[in-house]
Chain A
Amino acid sequence: MGKRILTGNNAIAFGALTAGVNVVCGYPGTPSTEILETIADHKDSSVYVEWSANGKAALEVAAGASIAGARTMVALKQSGLNDASDSVLTLAYMGIKGGMVIVSADDAGPHASHTEQDTRSFAALSRIPIFDPSSPEEAYEMIGEAFRVSELYGTPVILRPTTRVCLGKSAVFVRRRVPHVPTGFEKDPKKWVPYPKNAHINHIKIEKRNPIIADMFSELKYNSISGRGKIGVAVSGISCGYVREALEGVTNVRIFTVGTPYPFPEKKALEFLRSVKKVLVIEELDPVIERELTYLCGKHGLKKQISGKLDGAMPIAGEYTPKIVSDAIGRFVFGIEPEAKQEEALPVLPVRTPTLCAGCPHRASLYAVKQALKGKKYVCGGDVGCSLLGSAAPLEMIDTCLSLGAGITLSQGIHRIQPDTLNVAFMGDSSFFATGFSGIVNATHNEADLLVCILDNSASALTGQQPHPGSGMTMMGSDKSGIDIEAVLRSLGLSYVKTIDPMMLDEAIDAVRAAADVKGVRAIVFKSPCAAIAKPTKKFYVSGSCVACKKCIRELGCPAILIYDDVVRIDSSICNGCGLCAQICQIHTIKEYV
């Protein structure tokens, strides 16, 4: 297919297709979402692809296909791997048959996550071999190698790109697909049923196997030593490019590149350590390589200086940049302190906080709850996803949040300690199907007292409007009607369930008031499609009678409503025609274009 500009996510997808992947499952999450979408766009009929209901389901469907002999890939972000971890850890012991690659995208920064966890540490915890690509083109190559290692040793293998690899773009040469025909599932309880007795045997097996894989890794091109001299730099991931750039034209520094951090390629590392006096380790997130090198020095009685995060030579958190890396190398290798930069006085710049889109139904839902509960004592548990933007001014309706679908269970805990408070739990529709559902089961079973507000916009919106069980569409092209959230809630025996359209503001406020006065677990489904999916059918404008009271601006924070020189107007190129502003305007000066 030739060279083309691909993101790392595209490259991972094409790499898997080239390697003959049969089944791909995932759950959307930045920065890994486009991997699965690229598969769906470019696959042939021999590939099955699905957005699973959650990360755990994705892992298990792929594992099932893999033990039936298929080559499978799971596409997740780190938090998706956490969701799947119970099964991942068991699968590591049980093993697989067809090659299985678990992609877990880490997010140094973080740009779009709640933690800076490092999947390389998860690989060590689970004893699963891991590849750590430094660029999109390397990610493409590594996928094929990961499938090979997976089948050779009968173990799932992790590929861990970081945000800059996932979203970075470079020219990648895409090769033709090599088909793989699955052999089918063969019954063998000793192998496929993880009895404790088997677990003990398997534990010994994988502990004995991993040093063999480590030795094989020492021979791979992804773990390499270049340059010469007594000063060493050990590097991994996206920082490899920063190091090469900082040391362009410098030949007296020895560079150890680590592309497979677990099981650690000790032989290669020892060869490197023995040739240098001191090492600066440049790696984002956890000090994985730094600890391995320090351990090797102790184990082999080597007196070397190992610098990195643990001795303060590198920042312990956040994303690295070419500047951070070149400054650190300058200091460590050449003893040069970076010049202090003079701060330039800039004109006043606007603060741009991310906001809910114009016409977003979440704004209407959150606003309706706020109006309905005015004067009441309440605490709102929130969810990950777009609705979390409702924690910002002017809505300020999310008080706490933990992870996907956790608002409902957090709220239950708060209510046990503070029963005089009305607890409201906001939950996205995708979250409802992923993990929120079981939180509601927990609430009804344990006789909790709270109001669940399900924000059903028919998509996993924040990651790019992916379909989910409620929207009905699948990545294989079926377009049936989705699972009805209200019907599911009714079957759970809630004390009050109502579906309303948040864009009908007065009715929505009445429904929230009615629900607030009931005891037990009650739910309101705010149903209105994501503004990015629904084409606007109307547009609104501010007519001449506006008195610039600014109520619409102060209370809604819609990006389409602008003010300049005390004149309020609606930018028709941004307005999605939801009409929420027209409903709250006290003098009815906001009108629909006819």
Chain B
Amino acid sequence: MKTNCLLCGIGGQGTVLASTLISTAALYQKLEVKASDTIGMAQRGGSVVSHVRFGKKIHSSLISDGEADVLIAFEPAEAVRHLHYLKKGGTVIVCTRPVIPVASALAHSYETNVLLHYLHENAENVIEVDMKKESNRNINIKLLATAVKSGGLGLSEESLRYAVEKAMPEKSKKAALHLLDEFFGA
């Protein structure tokens, strides 16, 4: 049994921390884990992905096309861009708040509804996560909690809490735990 989780978003949104949290939660469940993040210039606002794989025996950290059980997208266009990784019957968790580069805005070429429609047309399970402005900073926690709740990751709420305690930077830990309380009901 292997679980493949692909995270995608825009440099600076927190995909790297999210992949560490999933890895730590999987380690807590005594699974072997391998993960890999995009780095370099892309971290300055480029399109980024993180691969996380866990299970009894994991040989490599990269997920191939059509093999992701769960796609966690921090942004709608990035969800569409990386949907080819999702396997048949896999789950998409997508934050519906768009991040529109100026060039796309000037050309009026970014259409959130079209992108979300495409996701629903091409994936069986799509869970939309609405981001209210005040919770921007905890986008990763809300997405991870949703992914855990969906059951697609095979990780428990307890494991996610453990990961937050263990791997979240001290300054944002309290807010993250509070968000988990709210989400799962303390």
Contact = CB atoms under 8 A, between A and B. Distances in A.
Interface of A: 3-5, 30-31, 111-112, 135, 163-164, 167-171, 238, 241-242, 244-245, 248, 321-323, 326, 341, 344, 346-357, 386, 389, 462, 550, 553, 557, 559, 561-564, 573
B186 interface: no
A113 to B, nearest CB: 8
B38 interface: yes
A31 B33 contact: no
Given A30-B40, A169-B37, A350-B100, 20 more contacts: A5-B23, A5-B27, A112-B40, A169-B23, A169-B35, A169-B36, A170-B33, A171-B32, A326-B64, A349-B80, A349-B81, A350-B77, A353-B46, A354-B41, A354-B46, A386-B44, A553-B102, A559-B45, A562-B100, A573-B136
Contacts of A563: 102, 105-106
A563 B40 CA distance: 27
A5 B20 contact: yes
Nearest to A550: B106
B39 A352 contact: no
A349 B77 contact: yes
A312 B93 CA distance: 40
B102 A5 contact: no
Contacts of A356: 44
Contact of A5 (B36, B111, B167): B167
B62 A169 contact: no
Given A347-B80, A573-B136, A562 B105 contact: yes
A245 B60 contact: yes
A322 B40 contact: no
A204 B101 CA distance: 61
Given A344-B84, A350-B109, A350-B110, A112 B101 contact: no
Contacts of B45: 352-355, 357, 559
Interface string B97-115: 0001111111001110011
Contacts of A322: 60, 62-64
Interface in B112-157: 114-115, 118, 122, 133, 136
27 contacts: A3-B27, A5-B23, A5-B167, A30-B40, A111-B40, A111-B42, A170-B33, A171-B33, A241-B61, A242-B62, A245-B60, A248-B59, A323-B65, A341-B65, A346-B80, A348-B109, A348-B110, A350-B110, A353-B45, A353-B46, A354-B11, A354-B41, A354-B42, A354-B43, A386-B44, A563-B105, A564-B105
B55 to A, nearest CB: 12
A453 B41 CA distance: 22
Nearest to B11: A354
Contacts of A30: 39-40
B19 interface: yes
B186 to A, nearest CB: 26
A106 B101 CA distance: 32
A323 B64 contact: yes
Contacts of B81: 346, 349
A347 B41 CA distance: 26
A170 B40 contact: no
Contacts of B34: 135, 168-170, 241
B10 interface: yes
B3 interface: no
Contacts of A242: 59-60, 62
Contacts of A111: 38-40, 42
A559 B32 CA distance: 39
B41 A351 contact: no
Nearest to A109: B40
A164 B110 CA distance: 33
B47 interface: yes
Nearest to A319: B62
Contacts of B167: 5
A535 to B, nearest CB: 13
B110 to A, nearest CB: 6
A386 B44 CA distance: 9
Contacts of A562: 100, 102, 105
Given A164-B61, A169-B34, A244-B59, A347 B102 contact: no
B24 interface: yes
Contacts of A169: 19-20, 23, 33-37, 61
Given A347-B80, A557-B102, A564-B100, A167 B60 contact: no
Contacts of A352: 10, 45-47, 101
Interface string B1-24: 000000000110000000110011
B64 A357 contact: no
Contact of B41 (A170, A389, A557): A389
A241 B60 contact: yes
Contacts of A553: 102, 106
A347 B118 contact: yes
Contacts of A167: 36-37, 39
